[in-house]
Amino acid sequence: MKADKFTLLRHFDGFPKSNDFRLESEELGGLKPGQFLCQAEYLSVDPYMRPYTRRFTPPFTMIGAQVAKVLESKNDKYPAGSYVVAGNLGWRTLSVAEDQPEDGRSFTGLEPLPELGDLPRSYALGVIGMPGVTAYFGFLELCQPKEGETVVVTGAAGAVGSLVGQIAKIKGCRVIGFAGTDDKCAWIRQLGFDVAINYKTCADIDAALKEAAPKGIDCYFDNVGGMLSHRIRQQMNLFGRVSVCGAISSYNDKTGQEAQVPVPEMAIVSKQLRIEGFVIHRWWHRREEAFKDMVAWVREGKIKVQETVTTGFEKMPQAFIGMLKGQNTGKAIVKV
């Protein structure tokens, strides 16, 4: 049996390009005891994949998570017909996998699909998966929002940011979101964001932010870094809390190119801000807590989900590059 896979041929220099990848076929051997054959149904494209590729030496199978169906099995834990969510299989249509020791610390492992009931299996790559756990703990644990506080979210129309904003509304906060198109701003307003600002077309972000948050900002969930984050920090209140999830504004800079941002320490010191970065491994052992609440909020209509779905495994690079250019609204996935 042959599997299709995408190999990353070289490290990205600037924006990823289609010719950075090569579609290849690979012959799979028979199953050994404890192994099972998985067929990808949905694959995820996420911002973290861009910087994380630097950890590996090309050529290698492009990294990424997938929801897969078990076709054949010699492992009682993963019978044929069951489904798994796997962060370690990468961009492949078929994979021979085996059970892994459960250390509870990494979303890049392989485990049975969470209990989703009648919710789509693709949600295991989004709201009931790594992005959902990221939004849940990254916001609630680090920002510790209080009812009536003002929260700012950048990357607000993405997989994580759109969930953070909705969780903040559930907690009784005023929420301001930044997004890159008018359509995205309209969508996050539909989600319940009190204010949406198009950072690409806004003539005066400082003035717009002051109007949206006249009493200042208490919590900031930072997905983008760069100059926009600098401007937001300038308007934070005393003892404000900042959760740093990512820095997508600089992910696609060319090798050696450095973002130029004013020195941040003056605002941090004078406002006594608490700024903390995180990776989701930190709370992955508690993912069931997040899954329980997120499933309930989705069923109650308190959290709305949107997916940008690309159909066809051969379009994986196209979907990945489009996501990094902000062409997705909500979670970007590929349906095989």
Q: Give mean pLDDT, residues 200-217.
A: 97
CATH of residue 19: 3.90.180.10
Q: Is the pLDDT of residue 120 over 80?
A: yes
pTM of structure: 0.95
CATH label of the domain that carries residue 156: 3.40.50.720
Q: Domain limits at 68?
A: 2-126+306-335
Cβ burial of 54 (10 Å; 0-12, 13-18, 19+) is exposed
Residue range 313-324, pLDDT digits in tens: 999 999 999 999
Q: Are residues 168 and 199 in the same domain?
A: yes
Specify whether 167 is located in the same domain as 63.
Answer: no
> How many domains does the structure of the chain reveal?
2
Residue 75: pLDDT band by 50, 70, 90 thresholds? very high
Q: Which of 55-64, 83-92, 245-254, 300-309 has the lowest mean pLDDT?
A: 245-254
Q: Are 246 and 146 in contact (CB under 8 A)?
A: no
Under 8 Å between Cβ of 134 and 162: no
Give dist(CA 280, CA 276) in Å, integer. 13
Q: Are residues 268 and 329 in the same domain?
A: no
Mean pLDDT, residues 290-309: 98
Q: For the residues 3-23, what does the mean pLDDT come to?
A: 97
Q: Select from 306, 323, 280, 296 the least CA-distant residue to 139.
A: 280
One domain, residues 273 and 134: yes
Q: At what angle do helices 182-191 and 161-170 cross, to 10 degrees?
A: 30
How far does the chain reach from its first CA to its final CA, in angstroms? 17
The reported pLDDT for the residue numbered 251 is 86
CA 232 to chain centre: 21
Structure token digits, residue 127: 């709201």
pLDDT of residue 101: 64
Segment 163-188, tens digit of pLDDT? 999 999 999 999 999 999 999 999 99
In this structure, the strands spanning 331-335 and 35-44 are antiparallel
At residue 102 the predicted structure's pLDDT band, cuts being 50, 70 and 90, is: low
Q: What's the longest Cα–Cα distance across the chain?
A: 65
Here the tokens at position 251 are: 């992910």
What pLDDT is attached to residue 294? 98
Which tokens hold the place of 232?
């937001």
One domain for residues 271 and 160: yes
Q: Can you tell me the mean pLDDT for 284-310?
A: 97
Distances (CA, A) of 287 to 53, 132, 290: 25, 9, 5
On whether both 148 and 191 belong to a single domain, the answer is yes
Q: What is the mean pLDDT of the chain?
A: 95
- Does 245 score more than 90 pLDDT? yes
Q: State pLDDT tens for residues 25-54.
A: 999 999 999 999 999 999 999 999 999 999
Tell me: do 161 and 137 sit in the same domain. Answer: yes
The confidence score (pLDDT) of residue 257 equals 58
Q: Give dist(CA 221, CA 224) in Å, integer.
A: 9
User: Distance (Å, rounded) from C-alpha 196 to C-alpha 211?
Assistant: 12
Confidence of residue 100 (pLDDT cuts 50, 70, 90): confident
Q: Which of 221, 157, 205 is nearest to 184 (CA)?
A: 157
d(CA 223, CA 153): 8
Same domain, 276 and 135: yes
3-state secondary structure of 316: helix
Contact yes or no for 11/58 (Cβ under 8 A): yes
In a domain, 81, yes or no: yes
Backbone phi, psi, residue 39, to 5°: -115, 120
Distance CA 25, CA 84 (A): 23
d(CA 38, CA 78): 10
